[in-house]
A and B are shown apart, each in its own frame.
Chain A
Amino acid sequence: MSHGKRLVAVLNWRNGGLVKSNAHSAWRPSLRLEAALRVLDRWQVDEIVLTDISRNSSLDERMLEELSAISLSTPLAVGGGIRLGEDVERVLQAGADRVVLESLLLDDESGVREITDLIGRQGVIGSLPVMVESDRLSLWRPDGHDSRDPVDVARQWITRGLVSEVLVKDVVAEGCAGQFASGLSNEFRGFDEGTLIWFGGLDAPTASELLERSETAAVAFGNILSHSELAAVGLRKHLRRAAPGRLRRWSPA
């Protein structure tokens, strides 16, 4: 499908609040969750991804509580600390439509099966943290590198029916607009149509190029969308001019 690709906003939650992330190594406090969600909802990004990056082994109760108090009309995917089916149920009850899995997908396929049995693979986005060093693509893990080939890992997630889409996250470039690793997307050529979401250091020109790729389901932005109330509108206009017909028309009823 060449049309209907999405502009996704990514919000990072860490230790009790939203943060702006810089290369996954430094974080600055950002807006209150409610304020950030309301702005993105009002200006109609196509989907919001909220991930708890605190690396706790359980759901963040405060995040769920704040989420439950908000009514959104924009699709919402939530990740971080999800291990069990009951975690998924709680996240959905708090207002999420889909879940984002990372550690569980990388470490425990049977745990993921429990979740897809419950909500179907259309309810699961796989988060694939990658980094490019010396022109070599590798998996990024918080406790060091993982020797598996990230492209193979992503392909297996899709072919085994574990996820519907893969969020390919350039960890080193995250929070640094324009730093998305050149060549990274070429490693994923040949993936099924509309299965990849690109994130981490994208700028508008790079995102426009990615929107022309058949594998692309969405382009995702983090900090840029928090710069101003109208940031999403400006970005959408730019992308619609640079990659005509790829994003949906923004047409309020």
Chain B
Amino acid sequence: MGSAAARRLTVEIVDYGVGNVHSVASFFATLGHRVEVSDASDKIKTAEIVVLPGVGSARTALGELKKRSLDDAIRERHGDELPIVGICLGAQVLLGPNEEAGGESGTSVIPGSVRRLDSGGTNTGWRALDFEQLREAGLNRGLRATSTFFFNHEFRMHFDRPDVKVVKSTGPSLSAVVLSGRTIGVQFHPEKSQASGRRFMQNVLDYVAR
């Protein structure tokens, strides 16, 4: 099929009323893909690639997803093994119980939970990834161990099950990427991680669109 870099994919950005749809849509357009923005569950169920963006609070995000019946659409899509990419808050809504939303569950397509950072503060800044884990996940092409990515979050993805494939960040060691079938959640912001972010996302699209 060739790499996603060589193919023009149709990327459906889910507009569920939280934040930075413009940035994410521009990012995928810059990568050379066809971009559509939608909150229609039928489209979300069947699109070639679905991206859940997100800047904001989980309570608002989960409420908006449910109001639009997009939570069911995402679960159905994951069950059909169609590609889903969640970014930051959009990754956290793929998990289960969410501390930020008072324990309310996300879409639970990946077994995990969302908890406050142990520091009690926020994790804002540029971090590298565990390069060995990135390589094992098959997402390292064109990147270096020194490549850094922009994180900005107060809550973290948490996984108890050892079979969940995770790539951690270095200093602090936090779950940065989670992979489950053709669904990938990314805690950082590839769209705001400059050249490293563009390269990483091409690798992600290669992975989910394979």
Contact = CB atoms under 8 A, between A and B. Distances in A.
B196 A253 contact: yes
Interface stretch (A1-9, A20-28, A222-230, A236-244): A1-9
A116 B56 CA distance: 8
Interface stretch (A30-38, A119-127, A173-181, A202-210): A119-127
Contacts of A71: 23, 26-27, 29-30
A164 B198 contact: no
Interface stretch (B38-46, B65-73, B185-193): B185-193
Given A73-B198, A249-B148, A1 B23 contact: no
Contacts of B206: none
A74 B194 contact: yes
Q: Using C-beta atoms within 8 Å of the partner chain, give the interface range for chain B.
A: 35 or more
A119 B124 CA distance: 14
B108 to A, nearest CB: 21
Interface string B2-34: 000000000000000001111100110110000
A118 interface: yes
Of A3, A122, A165, the most chain B CB neighbours within 10 A belong to: A122
A73 B197 contact: yes
Contacts of A117: 57, 59-60
A122 B22 CA distance: 19
A94 interface: yes
A155 to B, nearest CB: 13
A209 to B, nearest CB: 19
Contacts of A116: 57
A192 interface: yes
Contacts of B27: 71, 73
Interface in A128-171: 164-165
Contacts of A96: 20
Contacts of B55: 92, 97, 119, 123
A72 B197 CA distance: 12
A220 to B, nearest CB: 14
B207 interface: no
28 contacts: A3-B171, A4-B125, A4-B127, A71-B23, A71-B29, A73-B27, A73-B191, A73-B192, A73-B194, A73-B197, A76-B192, A93-B19, A94-B22, A97-B55, A98-B152, A116-B57, A117-B57, A118-B56, A120-B100, A121-B154, A122-B153, A123-B56, A123-B152, A193-B121, A217-B124, A248-B148, A253-B195, A253-B196
Given A3-B171, A71-B30, A122-B154, 19 more contacts: A4-B126, A71-B26, A72-B23, A73-B27, A73-B30, A74-B194, A92-B20, A93-B21, A97-B192, A117-B59, A119-B55, A122-B152, A164-B154, A248-B148, A249-B146, A251-B146, A251-B147, A252-B196, A253-B142
Complex A-B, nearest 4 residue pairs according to Cβ-Cβ distance, in ascending order: A71-B26, A253-B199, A164-B122, A252-B195
Interface of B: 19-23, 26-27, 29-30, 55-57, 59-60, 100, 121-122, 124-127, 142-144, 146-148, 150, 152-154, 171-172, 189, 191-200
Interface of A: 1, 3-6, 41, 44, 46, 68, 71-76, 89, 92-98, 116-123, 164-165, 192-195, 217, 248-249, 251-253
